[in-house]
Amino acid sequence: MDKFIIEGGRRLFGSVRAQSAKNSVLPLLAACILTEERVTVRETPPITDVACMAQILRELGAEVVFRDGNAVVDSANAGDHRISSSLTKELRSSVFMLGSLLSRFHRAVIAYPGGCDIGLRPIDLHLNALKRLGVSICERDGYIYCECEKLTGAEIVLDFPSVGATENILLAAVEAEGRTVLEGAAKEPEIVDLQNFLNAMGANVAGAGSDVIVIEGVKKLHGAEYLPVKDRIEAGTFLIACALCGGEIEVSGVKSESLGLLLHKLRENGCKIHTKNDKIRIASYGRLKCNRRIETMPFPGFPTDLQAQMTALNSVCEGGALIVENLFETRFKYVPELQKMGADIEVKGRNAFVRGVKGLHGASVTAGDLRGGAALVLAALGAEGTSEVYDLSHIDRGYSDMQGKLKNLGAEIKRVRV
């Protein structure tokens, strides 16, 4: 196990370029099984979630090679339709394989997916949608058994704009017979990216980014080479780090529209924000003011994946803030660790009441999930004294070389083996 040792109190200066988006690359890799031809996903970040998805593809019989930062996938010899429980329990995004496997093999067996422990994430929306496409589903002994004679286009309405369900429906319907109309679709930029990737492979998908997506089934997909969008959550994490520590940095690769509400909240804190093309510049000096209220919502609302980082920021701002988590019921599990550093936060159900303190102090804390772990790193960067952040395996799931990028911005951080 590794840990970060962080000497807080350094302002951040410089520039950083966002990696390819974790939440885009994973469904793109899942989509590679749809064709027997070679697919190249460029600039795949070296994070453990990507490695886990690659291993899932290998267990299905595909060949996956990482070359010059790109993932090259050849699924010509893929033939298995069962994903082992050891991998699905490590990676929530393994659920995307349901749609891909059903499209390619008309059968799929998958254990209930895992990932970060941030609360219940039922996949009923996924399964009900697949049933609409003609899939028979049986759940027993912790596994989901799916099969169909063929996939047939249908009209599907989601009760909630689930990102995962939307992506699974796209993957299942892309080679279904006829037209599928999905209403109530998620609108995240990663959905648009999946649509563009599938269309590059010969699919006929339109409407991503709106709440209605239309998929005209095609008979066969072909290989492609594709560059995913950059990671707006990683970019947002670095912007919040600068807000918390003070200084001026520029984050490139991400369009400001994908982080619209975050940028609004940072301006509300008192940060100066300037955007141009795919560059976002932030300047933070002096003590900031708390956001009165942050409420997580599906895109274009405030992203749940940046909630913990903004809670860490508000913990040292002037005033008080109410943080409302609408998507995951146990996403405040990181709060006791922030309290070890002197944060004044009270959690009641899905609400966190933050009273800003003048400063945090160093402490030994443990990351319990991906975004909560990132929040602890940010808090440590801004705290007085030395902090140790343990269990970096969670952080490694979504951030590549976090310490290296922060060091380049002037942070005093090193990674050591425990």
Instruction: Write phi, then psi, for 214 (nearest 5 degrees).
Output: -115, 125
Q: Which amino acid is at 137?
A: I
Q: By C-alpha distance, which of 356, 357, 378 is closest to 291?
A: 356
Q: By C-alpha distance, which of 43, 145, 58 is closest to 102?
A: 145
Task: Beginning with the edge strand found earlier in the chain, give each strand of the sheet holding 351-355 in spatial order.
Answer: 293-295, 320-324, 351-355, 344-348
Give percent helix, percent strand, percent coil of the chain, each to the nearest 5: 35, 30, 35
Tell me how far apart the alpha carbons of residues 288 and 314 are, in angstroms, rounded to a whole number: 8
Active-site residue identified among 32, 116, 242, 245:
116
Contacts of 336 (CB under 8 A, 6+ apart): none
Tell me how far apart the alpha carbons of residues 191 and 185 are, in angstroms, rounded to a whole number: 9
Strand 107-111 versus strand 143-147 pairing type: antiparallel
Tell me how far apart the alpha carbons of residues 22 and 31 are, in angstroms, rounded to a whole number: 14
138 part of the active site: no
Question: Looking at residue 219, what DSSP letter applies?
Answer: S
Q: By C-alpha distance, which of 409, 6, 8, 5 is closest to 242?
A: 409
CA distances 165 to 48, 203, 313, 405, Å, are 23, 19, 32, 33
Tell me how far apart the alpha carbons of residues 235 and 239 are, in angstroms, rounded to a whole number: 6
Q: Which residues are catalytic?
A: 116
